[in-house]
A and B are shown apart, each in its own frame.
Chain A
Amino acid sequence: EAGVTQFPSHSVIEKGQTVTLRCDPISGHDNLYWYRRVMGKEIKFLLHFVKESKQDESGMPNNRFLAERTGGTYSTLKVQPAELEDSGVYFCASSQGLGPNYEQYFGPGTRLTVT
């Protein structure tokens, strides 16, 4: 069974440009999460989808970030316009269900570098 996949693995863009990250969760997982780790900091939650609905957006840093999950399958995270402080690793995770018994499985991450 394929795990969580993310594309691209690495993106280098200039400040002010737009970047779109993609995440494909494990097949059958309704729950999809985005996290990020900026330089020197902890991994922090961004948002949570249940199918195509945003369940929790409390971690989204500002309105330059837009996440979508049309059709409830893969998800995209767009940063527009990108700023230098957006550099970091963006992780996607998925889980089969909610509650204390369910693990979140993470993808390999997308390393975003804004210059």
Chain B
Amino acid sequence: SQQGEEDPQALSIQEGENATMNCSYKTSINNLQWYRQNSGRGLVHLILIRSNEREKHSGRLRVTLDTSKKSSSLLITASRAADTASYFCAGKVQGAQKLVFGQGTRLTINP
């Protein structure tokens, strides 16, 4: 299977703390994208990191990519209640256009 894995599957922290989610994948990728899904809603694109990049920032988001370990991490700093959602990583398969998703991390921010 080409599907990835995310760790942890669920994370609960206090508002203001930082949240780190990890993702591992099995196939070679061109880029890795992170998405957020609020309950019952669609996937919202957060950030894209190319395979030749190691780190990328966007607002309170920081993404790292280690292609040698086939892993990525998403850090959300100064978390807010509104960050409560499921977060998915998705690698764009090399030589194809499809995304291969991880199982997702359910993040809960407690006020």
Q: Which residues of A contact B (CB under 8 A)?
A: 4, 31, 33, 35, 42-45, 48, 55-56, 58-59, 91, 93, 95, 98-101, 103-109
Contact = CB atoms under 8 A, between A and B. Distances in A.
Q: Do most interface residues of chain B lie in helix, strand or loop, or is the interface mixed?
A: strand
A56 B30 CA distance: 17
B88 interface: yes
B30 A109 contact: no
B97 A44 contact: no
A104 B42 contact: no
Contacts, number: 64
A103 B50 contact: no
Given A42-B3, A104-B33, A109 B42 contact: yes
A31 B96 CA distance: 13
A105 B45 contact: yes
A100 B98 CA distance: 11
Given A33-B97, A35-B101, A42-B102, 18 more contacts: A4-B42, A42-B3, A42-B4, A43-B90, A45-B100, A48-B98, A58-B98, A91-B43, A93-B99, A100-B31, A100-B50, A101-B48, A101-B50, A103-B48, A106-B42, A106-B43, A108-B41, A109-B43
Contact of A99 (B4, B30, B88): B30
B20 interface: no
Nearest to B5: A42
A39 to B, nearest CB: 13
Interface of B: 3-4, 30-31, 33, 35, 41-45, 48, 50-51, 88, 90, 92, 96-104
13 contacts: A33-B99, A42-B102, A48-B97, A55-B97, A91-B43, A100-B30, A100-B92, A101-B48, A103-B33, A103-B45, A104-B33, A106-B44, A109-B43
Nearest to A48: B97
A56 B41 CA distance: 26
Contacts of B101: 35, 42-44
